[in-house]
Amino acid sequence: MALVSYYTVFVLLDHWLGLGTTAGAAHAAAFSLLLAACFFSFLCAAAADPGSVPSAFSPDAEDPQGQGLKSRYCDKCCIHKPARTHHCKVCKRCILKMDHHCVWINNCVGYTNYKAFIICVLNATIGSLYSSVIFVCDLLRTEHDFSIHYVKIIHLLRERSGGMRTGALHTLTAGSPPPAGRHPSRSGGWEGLRRTGILAGVVLFSLSLTIGSLLCWHIYLICHNMTTIEIMGPNVFCWLCPTATGHLKDGTEFQNTNN
C-alpha cells in the first residue's frame, strides 16, 4: 500500500500535473484522505474484538427445529453457540457471526468488526481505481509529450540535413530524451521509465480487479442477508463510519430472511 501510494502521488501525479499546481495538490490531498480513511478502517478491523459469545448466553429451549436459528454446542470451547457463530481454528475460540479469518488484518472478521472490514475494502477499491485512472491520464500525457517531441526532432534534423534518409533519422532519434524538465531524464532514460510504467500499470489494474471483486462479493452477501445486512445500521449517513456501531445488539439473535 505504501509503495502504491508513493508511486501514485510522487511519480504519477507529479509527472502528470505537478504537485506544485492547484490541480495536482487537490488530487494529492484527495488521494491522501482516501488513504488515511482506508488505514483507519484497517486499524479498526484489525484491533477490534470480532465478537465473543456472551457468558450469560443460553439456548432457547422453545426454539422450533426448522428455523435455522437452533443453538449449537462447541466441543472445543464447551459452550453453546448462537446461530451464525463458528469456531476459528486460528483464534482458537468461537466468533459471533464469523465471516472468515483474514490474514491481512491478522484477525477474524466477525460481528463487531465486519463493518470496518467492508469500509476498508471499499476505500481500498476506490483508492486503487483512483490510482489506475491517474496512471492512465499520466500515460496519455506522456505519450502525447513524447510524440510532439519526436516530431520536432525529426523536423529539425530534416531541416539541417536537407533530406536525410529515414533510416538515419530513426537511428538518431531512437534514444531521444523526453521534453526537458520531465521525470524520464532523471530516472535512467525514457525506455526504463516506460518499462516501470507498464509494470506499475499491471500491478494497479490487478489490485483494482482483486479488491473490487472482493467488495462486490461482500456487497452481494450483505444485500441477501447471507452475512450481515444488519451490521451497517439503519442510518445511511453513518455507513461509512467504521466506529458507528451503536445499533449492534449482543450478536446472539438475527432475522432469518433473504429479503
CA–CA distances in Å: residue 230 to residues 35, 46, 93:
27, 21, 23
Catalytic residues: 102
Stated pTM of the model: 0.67
CB burial readout 72-105, b (16+ within 10 A) else e: eeeeeeebbbbbbbbbbeebebbbbbbbebbeeb
Q: Where exactly are the structural domains of the chain? A: 29-259
Spatial CA neighbour of 31 closest among 110, 108, 130: 130
pLDDT of the chain, 259 residues: tens digit per residue: 666 777 777 777 777 778 888 888 888 899 889 889 999 999 999 999 999 888 888 776 665 544 444 457 888 888 888 888 888 889 999 999 888 888 889 999 998 999 999 999 999 999 888 888 888 887 777 665 555 554 555 555 556 665 545 554 454 444 444 444 444 444 444 455 556 667 767 777 888 888 888 889 888 877 877 655 456 665 667 767 777 777 676 666 665 554 4
Cell of 255: 432475522
